Amino acid sequence: MMDFNYSNPTKIFFGKNKLKVLPEQIKRYGSKVLLVYGGGSIKRNGIYDNIVKLLKDNSIDFWELSGVEPNPRITTVRKGIDICRKNNIELVLAVGGGSTIDCSKVVAAGFYYEKDPWNIVKAPYRIKKVLPVASVLTIAATGSEMDTFAVITNMDTNEKLGTGHPDMAPVFSILDPTYTFTVPKNQTAAGTADIMSHTFEDYFSKPDSAFLQNKISEAILKTCINYGKKALDKPDDYEARANLMWASSLAIDGLASYGKDANWCVHPMEHELSAFYDITHGVGLAILTPVWMKYILDESTVDKFVEYGINVWEIDASKDKYDIANMAIDKTREFFNLLGIPSKLTEVGIGEDRLEIMAQGAVRYGKIGGIRKLDKDDVLNIYKAAL
Ligand code: NZQ
Ligand code: ZN
């Protein structure tokens, strides 16, 4: 039965040259900003210079936290909190992808938390107050630009954990698709796979009475299938980049999951891979997804795969239901391969040795999965089948 509360507090400014709203939007919250970014892509493509000029021209003081890692580390979060405290920062501005935005969110929450911020990653209920966070998005993938979550890695303990709080949603996000023209092919592919995986997590959850949510999911999946390869082949294809960018935000902001028991499954399995092997999130998801789909395909789930096959892949509805389901799964894998993503864990350097401990980690909070619940042995079987 559908029963939910809906709220989406993030203001979105979408389109070419939307950066111009940045100063006025920042000034709603103050004039002392922590500018957070990654390994330097924003310096190479000019976004950094444009932002710095806007901040200086509008008398907005800023301090910098640079070098946020893909799979952002708690050590970087700690550095950001120190800068915020020393300089009475009023807004944390993330310029980058999910890693930069996630790091910024936990810096903003950690600012008000007097102990070590790893505690608020492990136990989100400890978050009571959060500095305003805003983002300028540079890659279509995680949806962190319009959601309340953050994922942080602790390399000392090989843990990559999600946290969240309603006030961690960015107060505004600027989405200029031209900023994603410089995203390299492998990250474009991984981002597309990530958007699709967020959608699968909701789509393959119960109940099916959430008809509208299912249709939204199918539309997001078709958008990724239609535009993923186009963005790869022609990086400055505005239409492709824009559709992927908006799909990124809508895939995880709740639109497709409200009213469903969306107990995510492939994500906890993938986060273990990233925690131990530091691989790209979307690549891990794309390898695991078709294997997971085959694993859970049985009499209790086949109808959902038929729905997926017919509505998303336009497979002939008159075929046998298991043929449709298997064709849909094969097409999913073929699509990821078309984007240049490999099919096996061994191809990204993951062997047998740590599968057991990762399987344990994936179910640390209990069984996972919306349409079929998986325990540790199931996860281990999926990892082994993905080698
Ligand atoms: O660090 P820089 O130099 O900026 O380069 C980045 C990085 O190397 C590069 N890049 C980004 N925009 C670019 C660009 N290169 C050229 N031109 C541009 N315009 O791309 C690389 C990857 O960036 P990253 O931010 O790591 O990618 P993504 O957005 O995929 O974020 C991945 C992280 O988000 C987490 C993942 O687990 C992972 O840690 N997730 C966050 C979620 C959330 N907050 O809701 C949900 C997701 O499921 C996910 O778990
Ligand atoms: Zn994801």
Do both 272 and 344 map to the same domain? yes
Question: Which residues lie near ion ligand 2 (Cβ < 5 Å)?
Answer: 194
Q: Is residue 6 situated within a structural domain?
A: no
Could you tell which of 10, 138, 180, 264 is best to mutate to test the pocket of ligand 1, judged by most ligand atoms within 8 Å of the CB? Answer: 138
Residue 375: other Cβ atoms inside 10 A: 14
Tell me, in angstroms, the distance from the centre of ligand 1 to residue 209's CA: 34
Quick one: which ligand is closest to 195's CA?
2
Total-model pTM = 0.98
Do both 217 and 344 map to the same domain? yes
Do both 145 and 161 map to the same domain? yes
Q: Tens digit of pLDDT for each residue in 268-325?
A: 999 999 999 999 999 999 999 999 999 999 999 999 999 999 999 999 999 999 999 9
Do both 175 and 191 map to the same domain? no
Q: Is residue 170 situated within a structural domain?
A: yes
* CATH number, position 354: 1.20.1090.10
Q: Tens digit of pLDDT for each residue in 92-132?
A: 999 999 999 999 999 999 999 999 999 999 999 999 999 99
Which atom of ligand 1 sits closest to the CA of residue 105?
Answer: 44
Last residue of a domain, one of 164, 179, 194: 179
Do both 234 and 126 map to the same domain? no
Q: Is residue 5 situated within a structural domain?
A: no
Domain that holds residue 42: 11-179
Confidence of residue 259 (pLDDT cuts 50, 70, 90): confident
Geometric angle at alpha carbon 44, from 70 and 347, rounded to 5°: 40
Q: Is residue 233 situated within a structural domain?
A: yes
Tell me, in angstroms, the distance from the centre of ligand 1 to residue 138's CA: 9
CB 288 within 8 A of CB 270: yes
CB 297 within 8 A of CB 326: yes
Q: How many domains does the chain have?
A: 2
Q: Which residues line ligand 1 at a C-beta cut-off of 6 Å?
A: 38-42, 45, 70-71, 96-100, 102, 138-139, 141-144, 147, 149-151, 179-180, 182-183, 187, 191, 194, 252, 267, 281-282
pLDDT over 80 at 1, yes or no = no
Do both 173 and 190 map to the same domain? no
Q: Is residue 1 situated within a structural domain?
A: no
Last residue of a domain, one of 137, 162, 179: 179
Do both 55 and 42 map to the same domain? yes
Q: Is 150 helix (H, G, I), strand (E, B) or coil?
A: strand
Phi-psi region of 32 (alpha: psi -120 to 50; beta: other; left: phi over 0): beta
Of 212, 127, 220, 208, the residue nearest 169 (C-alpha):
127
Tell me, in angstroms, the distance from the centre of ligand 2 to residue 69's CA: 16
pLDDT over 90 at 354, yes or no = yes
Do both 110 and 196 map to the same domain? no
pLDDT over 90 at 202, yes or no = yes
Q: Is residue 172 situated within a structural domain?
A: yes
Q: Using CA positions, which residue lies closest to atom 26 of ligand 1?
A: 70
Which atom of ligand 1 sits closest to the CA of residue 147?
Answer: 45
Q: Is residue 166 situated within a structural domain?
A: yes
Tell me, in angstroms, the distance from the centre of ligand 1 to residue 101's CA: 8
pLDDT value for 3: 83
Do both 227 and 151 map to the same domain? no
Q: Say if residue 128 is exposed, middle or buried (CB neighbours under 10 Å; 0-12, 13-18, 19+).
A: exposed
Do both 329 and 381 map to the same domain? yes
* CATH number, position 158: 3.40.50.1970
- Among residues of the chain, what percentage have pLDDT more than 70? 100
Tell me, in angstroms, the distance from the centre of ligand 2 to residue 251's CA: 10
pLDDT value for 135: 98
Distances (CA, A) of 152 to 69, 103, 337, 356: 10, 7, 28, 22
Q: Is residue 171 situated within a structural domain?
A: yes
Find the mean pLDDT for residues 334-362: 97
Q: Using CA positions, which residue lies closest to atom 14 of ligand 1?
A: 183
Which atom of ligand 1 sits closest to the CA of residue 37?
Answer: 4
Find the mean pLDDT for residues 314-338: 98
In whole angstroms, give the CA distance from residue 177 to residue 337. Answer: 25
Do both 164 and 28 map to the same domain? yes
Quick one: which ligand is closest to 177's CA?
1
Find the mean pLDDT for residues 5-23: 95
Q: What is the mean pLDDT of the chain?
A: 97
Which atom of ligand 1 sits closest to the CA of residue 197?
Answer: 48
Tell me, in angstroms, the distance from the centre of ligand 2 to residue 252's CA: 9
Do both 237 and 359 map to the same domain? yes
Residues forming a β-bridge with 61: 32
In whole angstroms, give the CA distance from residue 117 to residue 376. Answer: 29
Last residue of a domain, one of 151, 179, 207: 179
Q: Tens digit of pLDDT for each residue in 146-197?
A: 999 999 999 999 999 999 999 999 999 999 999 999 999 999 999 999 999 9
Task: Tell me the two tokens of residue 227.
Answer: 């535009």
